[in-house]
């Protein structure tokens, strides 16, 4: 399997994206931004389609559209974008725009499939370097702003009263999310980005009781999911994304059962 360059690239890029999504996902879940992440991926789809239409790299279009949206959402306030109606309007608008840009360009079926469902085995060494660079940027910013971000994500009232610049933290986090989504879209596709960004983090909450522990478990689950997906896809020829999401969903349900068993054990100990 590893004798092929495309599989080596897929493993390197997939692992980096998984670590990034696993780490950032803990804050996405804590800040109740799961569906904003989903919306970003559709905005990214429109961006990628726009990039193809004007003849630039898809990643450029993805970043352009998602970063502009992050700044727009940050300006108007995140609360508005948590509303179901707002999400539906924006999501459908950008999906429509994406279809328009695709219809205006010549590339249709192949490109649509690769952006919507991902094409991890289709990436080249240049893509790998782009992903390495962006992942390092995201993880470094996450590490430097970790304390502010965790305070604001897990106790917004406390963070605001302690004088933290919560508006800037919010905008900064949306920018990180937009970059992560743009990178991850290439691996798992626009439709399943939020699976990698939210399911491992949701599962991690069942296994650990510290914020750093959640980041660690979430990243490990995401990486294992991507590796499992790549190996299974190689041997079965079925889509990678299917195996990744199945693995993460299984981890989540095991987490729920584990948490219930632990709670029962604690209650039994108390009695």
Partner 1 sequence: MLRQFQVDDLQVSFNGEKVLNHLSFEVFPGEMLAIIGPNGAGKSTLLKVILGMIHPQGGAVRMESDKRKAVIGYVPQSRTIDEETPIQAKDFVSLGLPAKIVPWLSQKERVTVKKAMMMTESLHLAKKPIGRLSGGERQRVFVAQAMVRHPDVLLLDESTANLDPNAQEQMMQLVQRLCKNQGITVLFICHDLHMVKEYSDRVLFMSRRHYETGSTDEVLSGKALEWLYHSTDDEKPKKTGLFREQRDRVTDHLF
**Contact positions vs partner 1 (CB under 8 A):** 30, 143-144, 146-148, 150-151, 154-164, 205-206, 208-212, 214
SS (H, E, C) 105-168: CCCCHHHHHHHHHCCHHHCCHHHHHHHHHHHHHHHHHHHHCHHHHHHHHHCHHHHHHCCCCHHH
Of the two residues 105 and 208, which places its CB atom closer to partner 1 in the complex?
A: 208
CB of 39 to partner 1, least distance (A): 22
Classify 200 as helix, strand or coil: helix
Per-position b or e across 237-248, b if 16+ CB within 10 A of its CB: eebbbebbbebb
Non-local (6+) Cβ contacts of 138 within 8 A are 20, 24, 176, 179, 180, 183
Enter the tokens of residue 263: 């709670």
**CA quadruple 207, 213, 219, 225: dihedral, nearest 10:** -20
Distance in angstroms (rounded) separating the CA atoms of residues 177 and 148: 16
Distance in angstroms (rounded) separating the CA atoms of residues 46 and 93: 9
Answer yes or no: are the C-beta atoms of 132 and 6 closer than 8 Å. Answer: no
Of the two residues 121 and 167, which places its CB atom closer to partner 1 in the complex?
A: 167
Of the two residues 4 and 212, which places its CB atom closer to partner 1 in the complex?
A: 212
Enter the tokens of residue 270: 């108390």
Of the two residues 144 and 254, which places its CB atom closer to partner 1 in the complex?
A: 144
CB of 14 to partner 1, least distance (A): 25
CB of 144 to partner 1, least distance (A): 5
CB of 81 to partner 1, least distance (A): 18
CB of 143 to partner 1, least distance (A): 5
CB of 19 to partner 1, least distance (A): 15
Rg (C-alpha) for the chain, rounded Å, is 19
Non-local (6+) Cβ contacts of 256 within 8 A are 206
Neighbours of 186 (CB within 10 A): 26
CB of 30 to partner 1, least distance (A): 8
Of the two residues 132 and 164, which places its CB atom closer to partner 1 in the complex?
A: 164
Of the two residues 117 and 167, which places its CB atom closer to partner 1 in the complex?
A: 167
Of the two residues 108 and 263, which places its CB atom closer to partner 1 in the complex?
A: 263
């Amino acid at each position: 399997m590893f004798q092929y360059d495309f599989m080596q690239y897929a493993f390197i890029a997939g692992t980096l994206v998984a670590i990034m999504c696993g780490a950032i996902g803990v804050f996405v879940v804590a800040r109740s931004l799961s569906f904003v992440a989903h919306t970003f991926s559709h905005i990214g789809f429109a961006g990628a389609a726009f990039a193809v239409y004007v003849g630039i790299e898809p990643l450029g279009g993805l970043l352009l559209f998602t970063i502009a949206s992050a700044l727009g959402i940050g300006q108007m306030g995140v609360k508005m974008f948590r509303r179901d109606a707002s999400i539906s309007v924006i999501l459908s608008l950008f999906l429509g725009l994406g279809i328009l840009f695709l219809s205006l360009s010549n590339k249709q079926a192949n490109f649509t499939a690769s952006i919507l469902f991902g094409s991890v085995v289709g990436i080249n060494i240049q893509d790998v370097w782009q992903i390495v660079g962006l992942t390092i940027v995201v993880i470094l910013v996450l590490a430097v702003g970790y304390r502010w971000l965790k305070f604001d994500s897990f106790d917004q009232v406390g963070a605001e009263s302690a004088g933290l610049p919560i508006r800037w933290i919010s905008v900064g986090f949306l920018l990180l999310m937009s970059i992560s989504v743009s990178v991850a879209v290439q691996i798992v596709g626009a439709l399943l980005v939020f699976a990698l960004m939210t399911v491992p983090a949701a599962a991690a909450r069942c296994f650990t009781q510290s914020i750093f522990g959640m980041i660690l478990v979430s990243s490990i689950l995401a990486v294992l999911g991507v590796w499992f997906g790549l190996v299974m896809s190689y041997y079965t020829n079925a889509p990678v994304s299917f195996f990744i999401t199945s693995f993460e969903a299984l981890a989540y349900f095991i987490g729920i059962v584990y948490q219930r068993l632990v709670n029962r054990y604690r209650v039994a100990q108390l009695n």
